């Protein structure tokens, strides 16, 4: 299992807008480089990309919550 950590301090968003579907859900397959969430920092929306291909096993953070640098965001089971 690979833990994807927050690359910066900010507010975690699972979707590009309040009415949109989340980028990923638990159980979804992701590709390396695929956008998995947004972190808003100083009014800038920063897209966060998956560092590994695999299946999302766990989402650790609730939508709209603040995250710290290095805080776990996702647990991904890498594809072999």
- The reply to whether the predicted model has a pTM over 0.85 is yes
16-62 per-position pLDDT tens digit: 988 999 999 999 999 999 999 999 999 999 999 999 999 999 999 99
pLDDT at 18: 87
pLDDT confidence bin for 80, thresholds 50/70/90: low
pLDDT confidence bin for 2, thresholds 50/70/90: very high
Domains of the chain: 2-78 (2.40.50.100)
pLDDT confidence bin for 68, thresholds 50/70/90: very high
Instruction: Check if the beta carbon of residue 21 is closer than 8 Å to that of residue 27.
Output: no
């Amino acid at each position: 299992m690979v833990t994807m950590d927050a690359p910066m301090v900010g507010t975690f968003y699972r979707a590009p807008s309040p009415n949109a579907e989340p980028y990923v859900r638990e159980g979804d397959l992701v590709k390396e480089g695929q956008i998995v969430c947004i972190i808003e920092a100083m009014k800038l929306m920063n897209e966060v990309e998956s560092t590994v291909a695999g299946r999302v096993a766990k989402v650790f953070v609730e939508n709209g919550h603040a995250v710290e640098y290095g805080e776990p965001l996702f647990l991904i089971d890498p594809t072999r």
